[in-house]
Amino acid sequence: MELPKLAIAALGGTVSMQSTQSGQGVVPAVSGETLLSTVPELKTLARTTVETFGLLPSASLDFEYLLDVLDWANAQISQGVAAVIIIQGTDTLEESATFFDYLWAHDEPLVLTGAMRSAAQAGADGPANLLDAGRVALAECSRGRGAQVVINGEIHRATTVRKVDSMTMHAFVSPLTGPAGLLVEGAPRYFQPPVARHVLSLPQDTGQTVALLEASLSADSLLLEKVVELGYDGLVIAGFGAGHVSAHWAEVIEGIARHIPVIIATRTGCGATAQATYGFVGSEIDLTRKGAVMAGFLCPRKARILLWLLIGCQQQSTLATCLAEPAP
C-alpha cells in the first residue's frame, strides 16, 4: 500500500537553534531537511517533503508571513497531501496556531510543533515532538479538528493552548479543559470527538493594526488615550479578574469604542470574562454599556488575532457573535 503524503514547513525557532560562536548563545541554524533527517521513522510512515521557509525566532514572525505559510499549506492540500506540519518557535506558538485555526478550512490535519530545548542541548526534544506531530497528523482520528499543537506528548486545540512557563519542558497547557488528547504508545488518543469550528474568510486587507494593553494597579491612561489618534483599527484590553478596568480607564474606553472595536479579556490566564455579575464603573456590565465586547474564554492574545482577521475581511460586525460561541 502506498504511503500517504505529509508536508512539513520549517520556520525556525528553538528547535532549529545551535551555537555558532562560543559563549554567544544559540541561534537558528538547522534547516528543516536536517531536522527531518534526525527522525528516520517519520519516513516509514509517510512520503514526506519539507520546506524551510526561514530560520526565524518566532518572536519575529508576523501575520503576513503566516499568510504566506498558509498559502503554501493550502497548495499542499490541493496537491493531495494527507496532512501538514508546521515547525516553529514556541514563543508565539499558541498565537500562530490560533491564527491558522481561524483560517484552516480543510478536514486534513494541520499540526504545529516546536521545542523547548535547542538542537545543541542534551535531550533535545525537537525530534521527538516532530515524530509525535507526524503520528498525530497522519491519524484518521485527527481529521476535522483544525489546527492543533503537539508537544511534550500532548495534543492541544489551538483555541485553548497556552504557554505558561518560559523554559521548562511542560510549558504548554490548556487551562480548564486540559489537552485534547495524548500520545499513548506512539498513537494519538483523543478524549472527545471534534468540535464545531468557526472558519473565517481570508483577510483582503493586512495593513490593519490592533493594540493590546493590559490593565494594572494604578495604571495611567496616556497610551490608552492615544490609541485612536495613533491610527489603530481595534483595541484589546487584558483586564482585571472577570474583565474589569479602573473607573478612569472605563471613561476613556467609552470614547474609543465610538470609533473602533474594543474587546475586554481577562489577564488572569484562565477562565472567562463575566457578562452580568458586576455593576460598578469599569465592570463588565458597565463596559458593555459603553460599547466594548467581552472576550468570554478567549485570552487577550487570541482575541487580538480574531479582531485583526475580522477587520481584514470586513466582518468586524460579527465580533460579538464570534466571541459568544460556546466555551471550549
- Determine what percent of the chain is predicted with pLDDT higher than 70: 99
Task: Determine the Cα angle at 270 with ends 290 and 268, to 5°.
Answer: 60
For residue 32, give the nearest of 105, 84, 98 by alpha carbon. 84
What are the domain boundaries of the chain? Answer: 5-190, 210-323
Contact 135, 45 (CB under 8 A): yes
Retrieve residue 51's grid coordinates: 520546506
- Determine what percent of the chain is predicted with pLDDT higher than 90: 92
Q: Which amino acid is at 71?
A: D
- Half-sphere exposure of residue 54, counting CA atoms within 13 Å on the CB side? 11
pLDDT score recorded for residue 119: 85
Cα–Cα distance, 308 to 235 (Å, whole number) = 10
Q: Tell me the pLDDT band of 326, cut-offs 50, 70 and 90.
A: low
Q: What is the pLDDT of residues 268-293, one digit of tens each?
A: 999 999 999 999 999 999 999 999 99
- DSSP-derived secondary structure for 85-123: EEE--STTHHHHHHHHHHH---SS-EEEE--SS-TTSTT
pLDDT score recorded for residue 325: 67
Contacts of 43 (CB under 8 A, 6+ apart): 36
Q: What is the pLDDT of residues 296-318, one digit of tens each?
A: 999 999 999 999 999 999 999 99
Contact 109, 85 (CB under 8 A): no
Retrieve residue 175's grid coordinates: 487551562
- Greatest Cα-to-Cα distance within the chain, rounded to the nearest angstrom: 67
Residue 62 neighbours by CB distance under 10 Å = 10
Cα–Cα distance, 234 to 252 (Å, whole number) = 14
User: For 225, phi and psi rounded to 5 degrees?
Assistant: -65, -20
More confident residue, 37 or 324: 37
Architecture of domain 5-190: 3-Layer(aba) Sandwich (3.40)
CATH class of this structure's domain 210-323: alpha beta
For residue 45, give the nearest of 165, 224, 187 by alpha carbon. 187
Q: What is the mean pLDDT of the chain?
A: 96
Residue 244 DSSP class: B
Cα–Cα distance, 77 to 50 (Å, whole number) = 14
Q: Tell me the pLDDT band of 327, cut-offs 50, 70 and 90.
A: low
Pairing of strands 181-184, 187-190: antiparallel
Q: Tell me the pLDDT band of 56, cut-offs 50, 70 and 90.
A: very high
Q: What is the pLDDT of residues 100-120, one digit of tens each?
A: 999 999 999 999 999 999 988
Q: Is the pLDDT of residue 165 over 80?
A: yes
- Half-sphere exposure of residue 207, counting CA atoms within 13 Å on the CB side? 1
Q: What is the pLDDT of residues 17-51, one digit of tens each?
A: 887 777 789 988 889 999 999 999 999 999 999 99
pTM of full prediction above 0.85: yes
Residue 273 DSSP class: -
For residue 111, give the nearest of 130, 90, 89 by alpha carbon. 130
Q: Is it true that 5-190 and 210-323 share their CATH fold?
A: yes
Cα–Cα distance, 128 to 41 (Å, whole number) = 10
Q: Tell me the pLDDT band of 324, cut-offs 50, 70 and 90.
A: confident
